Structure 1
Amino acid sequence: MASNVPQCEPCAEDGSYLEATRWCCECQQWFCDNCGKYHKRLAVTKAHTLLSKLEYEKLPNMTSAISRKCHKHSDKDLEFYCNIHVTAICFSCMKEGHSLCKSVNKIKDVATGIKSSAAVTDVMATLEDFVDVFEKLHKDRKTNKDNLKTAKDIIDAKVENLLDENQKYLKQLAADLKSEVHKKYTKEASALDLEIDTYKTKRSVLEKKLSDVKTMVEYASNEQMVLSLEDMNRDVSKHEKYLQSLDGHVFTKTLAVDFNLNALRLKDTVRSFGQVSVQSAKCPVRLAVRQFAIPLPRAQKQNVIRDIKCLSNGYLAMTDSENNRVLIIDQNGSTLSEESLQGSPRCLTFTKDGRIAVTMFDQQKVLIWNPYLPSKKESIDVNDECTGIACVNNILIINCQRRGLLLYNVIDTKSRRLIEYTGKLDIHKFGVDNVCIYKSKTNDFITLNINSGVEIGRFKVYSKMPSCLAKEDFDKFYIIDSSNAVRKIDNKSCKSEIVLDVSSGINKPQAVATFVEKSRGMVFKSVTKFYLFVVNNDGSSILMFQKK
């Protein structure tokens, strides 16, 4: 903050020049002791925050850079906040460009409780995560450089030992090799120095940014907090994109030489001691995925959740086979709906019109009902043990283990079978007219057009007793693995990888679901959050993993 001696602004207007002792965060004016006292007594300003000079000096520079004036209408104050366009506006802006916006509030109303809001908490938590990642990257790069130096020293020592056996002829070859090793080391060390400096600088910048945010929470006004969050989130988004761009592109370098042992004997044919190479392995430092536990409603018996699906609003629907019920809960674990059934439910899906469809394994049927009118249930007899189920348009695709896939139209009740798809299948909608099927017995991942019955693609995904298919935004799916892991399948590249394991708390998983939240927060621009829900511990608990 500026350190010039301030003067009382109201007194200066009257021709008196007194040293100011208080700064009003709301009015952005300096006051002397007397003016400050009167300012706190007036009804319209008694709630304003007055800071001492020392407290004012503690405010970060970005606070002083915040202007309450509109950048389009410099003579107008910023009085309103448009949630649609996520920006602060003046009265003129509101009339000119935001008259049709349905969500415009006064800044002072938006600012109420802002410091304790999820918006500020999320910024601080994200900055803390970034600081931690850059700290780890900084240490990892330094360790990598030290290891390169150690490898270089070991290679140098081995070269010296070889020189003793054929000193005259091999000395030149050794010098050439050491020179090449040094060049490789210098190149890689220089690159690592650049990375080390970069991550150290970014960590310092983020530590300062985090400190500024904490200081603003303590000393800045609510309006200043609102007006500064746009810049904060721009910085957060920038660093997040940078960290995401690093994923899979930070490599651990090792220096090694494949020594040519023939150099000891065949001086006429040997031209070097060995080939110098630098091998790269992906750096293990990652931006952490946040993990939360969702409490489950209690029942007479221990919960055994067999399947879980996300509704469009983020609520969770699940089958509890041990207590013969279907639950809908929010992400805090509060029960929104509970329907008891005569039998054990297995898998579920939602029809196009929002009804729940549940496979009843033992009773060899599917139940369909409106969650708001649970007393009216439609029953589909499939005459087979049924597990997996999905819905494409108005067609239910039901996994009948002995008789093949049953395609049932919920509008006209017509049905047909694809008898070649038997056994335990996990099914998920894919695109407009397709489903993806995971056949656990053969480890086949199949893309099938339900209109023609023609396979679009098929490849192997080797997983240990996989089950429960869940889809991400595009060509990626998730499936649980009995080796205490969650595996991601890329339908485009036909590859898979483990993304969560015991180190992430995965233990005896039973089901998995995904939810992609795209929103425009009050003080955030467009935000996308990805949630992965894993039914854990033999179906008795649920873990939620969040990644932006």
Structure 2
Amino acid sequence: MGNNGALVPFRKRYRSLDERMAEKVIVCDACKIELKISKPSDAPITLCLDCNLYFCKPCADHHSKFPLFANHSIIPSESIFEFPFDLMFRAMTCNAHSDKLKEYYCPFHCEAFCFSCLIESHRLCDFRKLKDVTGNVRLSHVFTDLRNRIGSKYDSIKNLLRTKTANIEGLLIEKIKFEIKLKSFISEVNQWVSDITHQHELLFHFVTENLTRELNELHMHETELLKHKEDLDHISTKCSEDKIFLSIFEIENALRNQDLVIKHIESNCVDIRISDEVAFESLLHQLKEVKINLFQTTLNIDIPQLTPAQLILQPELHGIHDAPRLHLRMDIAFQEIDSQDGLIRNFTTFQNGQIIAVDEKHDCLVEFNKEGILERNVKMQSKYFGITKITQDIFAVTDSENDSVEIYDKHTMNLIKHVYTVEKCSGIAKYSDNSIVVGCNSTGIRIIDSTGNNIAYNCPNKLMQLNQTLLLTVDDECRIFCSLTKDNSVIALDSTGKLMFTFRSEKLKGPYGITVDRGNNILVAGSDSNNIVWIRRDGKKCKELLTTRDGIWCPYGIEYNKQLNILVICNCRGSKISIYEYL
């Protein structure tokens, strides 16, 4: 698999196999080369997909003894003629370069590709070699889920097939009953019977033609699904992990294309009834009211739609010894300070222990001293959202209503500067001594200097046009970390805007507030998973620091104060601020 040049002879050999299969003759390549034997071997022939060679049993035994060939995909003689070579070739071949094999995998784009694609499109990605991401794929949830979904879909199609067939048979029986009932009135309503029968025939043929067409399509899809199931069984028992991995994607693509075709087939049964039974019994008096109508009964048969399987490289959760411990110092219950419940999502802390938070419910800024006592609240000029400390005397907020950033004096609460962002902004953080970074809906990330001008920053496309809240933080190396709530992910960018990694974990749902500690490790508030997650600075390890057992419920904002070595959390849907010592 490591040599892309092997694909051309592989295809030629496949065409040669077609010819040999037609003649039912296959010759051992090793015997042909070494012993110059061109006659068919009496021993069973096997095919090595990696070497692209056919071996008789003695040669195959020698081949399997070499450690270098231990993981090769060997197709035994009894499976050669039914093995899905076409599927295997499509899975192995690079989508962009048909003459090269897939060798690498990009977890960010969920795509396998060749070396040329790596150079052209994935140089900046955290790509891996296929062999590094396909280990134990036979036991993975992706492979098991695909088999289960194909089986479930196959069973659903069979069930629908039986129901549709019974539907036609039932219609035929009902048609006979219907005609018998009509003929009893022929003497009195001959003309009416003729008209109603003709109307019924047209509707019957229309319905049965549609049902027959759907049955034919269902038979075809049934056969295709059975073929996919058999192909998957062959590949799973005879191929290496990387080929199974690639085959999963190929089969998924085929199934999605099949879904587009079968989507128009409705899961229902059709019945042809007379609209008014009373009118039918008194037809001599109410002939004009009798009509033939089409009635449909929706079946409770669910045909599952197969969605693309994505291999997410999960972070390591065990053996983490450098994660910190937290000790609760104080809870500030905001609803006890004011008779009306407040809603605090974001706040910032200062060296003297002071906390200034944005109360979104009452449209004001609230200030607490280091003992957690409310010092004052100041009515805001607009709808503020994000807030960050710039110096010990100055802080900045994002005005999501007027698309701007406001800079305030902490002591007087007077406005110092107003900077228009021209677009809706949300999260904000200090970038350097002379600049701040703001999360925006369209441009993603914008860095603004002390004069209000934009600093050039190469924001990746992943963050543009998100139209969602973008919370962010900055470490000592000017690396930017962003939490994407809807995507359940955290992304890391270096000082030039290059994507370093994308973090996902089953333990983190609805990531919201984000901050970094002294070691530039990341801390994220899981608003849906009800926890605080610590992520090592390289994104490869993570650990839950606080959960519901520690009183964490729907946390929003989060900030680590390096001077005081404390972690402050906006807890319980913004009704409480929890302060933890960082141990």
TM-score by length of 2: 0.48
Letter matched to residue 331 of structure 2: K
C-alpha deviations, 1:29-54, integer Å up to 9, x for none? Answer: 11233432332232322443433211
Q: Provide closer, same or farther for how the CA distance between residues 286 and 383 of structure 1 changes in structure 2, counting only shifts above 3 A.
A: farther
Find the structure with the greater CA-based Rg. Answer: 2
C-alpha deviations, 1:422-471, integer Å up to 9, x for none? Answer: xxxxxxxxxx88xxxxxxxxxxxxxxxxxxxxxxxxxxxxxxxxxxxxxx
When the two chains are superposed, the root-mean-square deviation of aligned CA atoms in Å is: 4.7
Alignment of 1:371-520 (within 5 A): 374-382=328-336, 414=377
Q: Provide closer, same or farther for how the CA distance between residues 34 and 391 of structure 1 changes in structure 2, counting only shifts above 3 A.
A: same
Match of 2:435 in 1: none
Q: Provide closer, same or farther for how the CA distance between residues 177 and 244 of structure 1 changes in structure 2, counting only shifts above 3 A.
A: closer
- Alpha-carbon distance in 1 for matches of 2:201, 2:235: 50
CA-CA distance at 1:289 after TM superposition: 10
Do the aligned residues in 1 keep the contact of 2:276 with 2:290 (CA within 8 Å)? yes
Match of 2:69 in 1: 45
Q: 2:295 aligned to 269, 279, 282, which one? A: 279
Match of 1:9 in 2: 29
Q: 1:210 aligned to 229, 232, 235, which one? A: 229
Match of 1:139 in 2: 162
Match of 2:153 in 1: 130
Q: Indicate whether 1:121 and 2:141 are aligned.
A: no
Do the aligned residues in 2 keep the contact of 1:22 with 1:33 (CA within 8 Å)? yes
Do the aligned residues in 2 keep the contact of 1:69 with 1:78 (CA within 8 Å)? yes
C-alpha deviations, 1:169-198, integer Å up to 9, x for none? Answer: 412211221221122112112112222222
Q: Indicate whether 1:179 and 2:198 are aligned.
A: yes
- Alpha-carbon distance in 1 for matches of 2:150, 2:258: 9
201-210 or 236-245, larger mean C-alpha shift: 236-245
Match of 1:35 in 2: 59
- Alpha-carbon distance in 2 for matches of 1:66, 1:396: 57
Match of 1:257 in 2: 274
Match of 2:210 in 1: 191
Match of 2:395 in 1: none
Task: State the secondary structure of the residue aligned to 1:162.
Answer: coil
Q: Provide closer, same or farther for how the CA distance between residues 77 and 289 of structure 1 changes in structure 2, counting only shifts above 3 A.
A: closer
- Alpha-carbon distance in 1 for matches of 2:365, 2:269: 55
- Alpha-carbon distance in 1 for matches of 2:235, 2:126: 30
CA-CA distance at 1:119 after TM superposition: 1.6
Letter matched to residue 332 of structure 2: E
CA-CA distance at 1:125 after TM superposition: 1.6
- Alpha-carbon distance in 1 for matches of 2:340, 2:298: 43
Q: Indicate whether 1:23 and 2:47 are aligned.
A: yes
Q: Indicate whether 1:54 and 2:78 are aligned.
A: yes
The unaligned stretches of length 5 or more in structure 2 are: 1-16, 307-311, 319-324, 348-356, 369-375, 380-399, 402-484, 490-505, 510-527, 529-583
TM-score by length of 1: 0.51
- Alpha-carbon distance in 2 for matches of 1:390, 1:174: 76
Do the aligned residues in 2 keep the contact of 1:8 with 1:31 (CA within 8 Å)? yes
CA-CA distance at 1:140 after TM superposition: 2.5
Match of 1:227 in 2: 246
Letter matched to residue 120 of structure 1: F
CA-CA distance at 1:233 after TM superposition: 1.6
- Alpha-carbon distance in 2 for matches of 1:244, 1:141: 16
Number of equivalent positions: 339
Match of 1:95 in 2: 119
Match of 2:256 in 1: 237
Do the aligned residues in 1 keep the contact of 2:46 with 2:56 (CA within 8 Å)? yes
199-208 or 383-392, larger mean C-alpha shift: 383-392
Do the aligned residues in 2 keep the contact of 1:18 with 1:32 (CA within 8 Å)? no
Match of 2:131 in 1: 108
Greater strand proportion: 1
Letter matched to residue 240 of structure 2: S
Match of 1:542 in 2: none
C-alpha deviations, 1:71-119, integer Å up to 9, x for none? Answer: 666665443233334333333332333222222x222223321121122
Do the aligned residues in 2 keep the contact of 1:173 with 1:272 (CA within 8 Å)? no
C-alpha deviations, 1:252-307, integer Å up to 9, x for none? Answer: 3221114586788896x8655721111234332224699xxxxxxxxxxxxxxxxx
CA-CA distance at 1:209 after TM superposition: 0.8
- Alpha-carbon distance in 2 for matches of 1:31, 1:50: 10
Do the aligned residues in 2 keep the contact of 1:23 with 1:30 (CA within 8 Å)? yes
C-alpha deviations, 1:190-231, integer Å up to 9, x for none? Answer: 112222222232122112211211221112222321232221
Letter matched to residue 178 of structure 1: T
Q: 2:107 aligned to 83, 86, 109, which one? A: 83
C-alpha deviations, 1:391-447, integer Å up to 9, x for none? Answer: 69986788xxxxxxx77867788599xxxxxxxxxxxxxxx88xxxxxxxxxxxxxx
- Alpha-carbon distance in 1 for matches of 2:66, 2:152: 43
- Alpha-carbon distance in 2 for matches of 1:265, 1:47: 80
Alignment of 1:300-319 (within 5 A): none
Q: Provide closer, same or farther for how the CA distance between residues 260 and 81 of structure 1 changes in structure 2, counting only shifts above 3 A.
A: closer
Alignment of 1:518-537 (within 5 A): none
Letter matched to residue 133 of structure 1: S
- Alpha-carbon distance in 1 for matches of 2:160, 2:60: 49
- Alpha-carbon distance in 2 for matches of 1:238, 1:24: 31
Task: State the secondary structure of the residue aligned to 1:381.
Answer: helix
203-212 or 7-16, larger mean C-alpha shift: 7-16
Do the aligned residues in 2 keep the contact of 1:127 with 1:206 (CA within 8 Å)? yes
Letter matched to residue 381 of structure 1: Q
CA-CA distance at 1:55 after TM superposition: 3.2
Do the aligned residues in 2 keep the contact of 1:79 with 1:89 (CA within 8 Å)? yes
Q: Provide closer, same or farther for how the CA distance between residues 151 and 391 of structure 1 changes in structure 2, counting only shifts above 3 A.
A: farther
CA-CA distance at 1:18 after TM superposition: 5.2
Q: Provide closer, same or farther for how the CA distance between residues 237 and 379 of structure 1 changes in structure 2, counting only shifts above 3 A.
A: same
C-alpha deviations, 1:136-193, integer Å up to 9, x for none? Answer: 2222322333343344333323323334xxx2x4122112212211221121121122
Task: State the secondary structure of the residue aligned to 1:209.
Answer: helix
Do the aligned residues in 1 keep the contact of 2:358 with 2:364 (CA within 8 Å)? yes
Do the aligned residues in 2 keep the contact of 1:145 with 1:192 (CA within 8 Å)? yes
